[in-house]
Amino acid sequence: MPEEKARRRAKRNRPAPPVDCIALAKDCELRLIGGHWFEVSLTPLPEPVYRSCRELVELRRRRKFETRALEAEVDVRRLISPPVWDVAEKRMIAVGPVVDDLLSWSRYRRARPDRRYAVSKRPLSTRELRRHGVHNMPEDAGGHG
């Protein structure tokens, strides 16, 4: 039993993972980007627009000892909405999955659960850093993201 107590004590005393994001409001959060803290303004992603088109797809059919490849023409709904620029991530963000189907939406929601993106950011002042209990990392410390 002493080993069990020691294991629980070690788990309790484990340091918390470093914080790199602090939510202030639904549309505003603090983010640690490249070792510096920024106030980031967020907005919901636009609703994606899809267009149906007929495509030839290859279907694989397995039987006991063989696999057959069949081609079929199916209706596919493809994303036509343009991506948006996320200023915090410094990259274009798709407003939805490329194909409108359950599996694609499941993967997309896992990657972007809140369906928001950053439209602006500004560095925090020294006073704001103190107020929120955070600090910028020195250049040689190699901060997050």
The model's pTM: 0.69
pLDDT at residue 37 in the model:
96
Measured distance CA(117)–CA(86) in Å, rounded: 6
Measured distance CA(66)–CA(54) in Å, rounded: 28
Asked whether 45 and 93 are in contact (CB, 8 A), the reply is yes
- pLDDT tens sequence across 43-69: 999 999 999 999 887 777 777 777 777
Measured distance CA(19)–CA(135) in Å, rounded: 11
pLDDT at residue 14 in the model:
67
Asked whether 54 and 78 are in contact (CB, 8 A), the reply is no
* pLDDT bracket for residue 41 (50, 70, 90): very high
pLDDT at residue 142 in the model:
52
Place of tokens 């495509």: 55
pLDDT at residue 122 in the model:
97
> Is 37 exposed, middle or buried, given 0-12, 13-18 or 19+ CB atoms closer than 10 A?
buried
The mean predicted confidence, pLDDT, of the chain is 87
Kindly give the residue spans of alpha helices, DSSP state H, lying in 87-142: 102-111, 126-132
> Is 41 exposed, middle or buried, given 0-12, 13-18 or 19+ CB atoms closer than 10 A?
middle
Q: Which residues contact 28 (CB under 8 A, 6 or more apart)?
A: 39, 40, 41, 42
* pLDDT bracket for residue 140 (50, 70, 90): low
pLDDT at residue 59 in the model:
74
Measured distance CA(23)–CA(21) in Å, rounded: 7
pLDDT score of 73 more than 60: yes
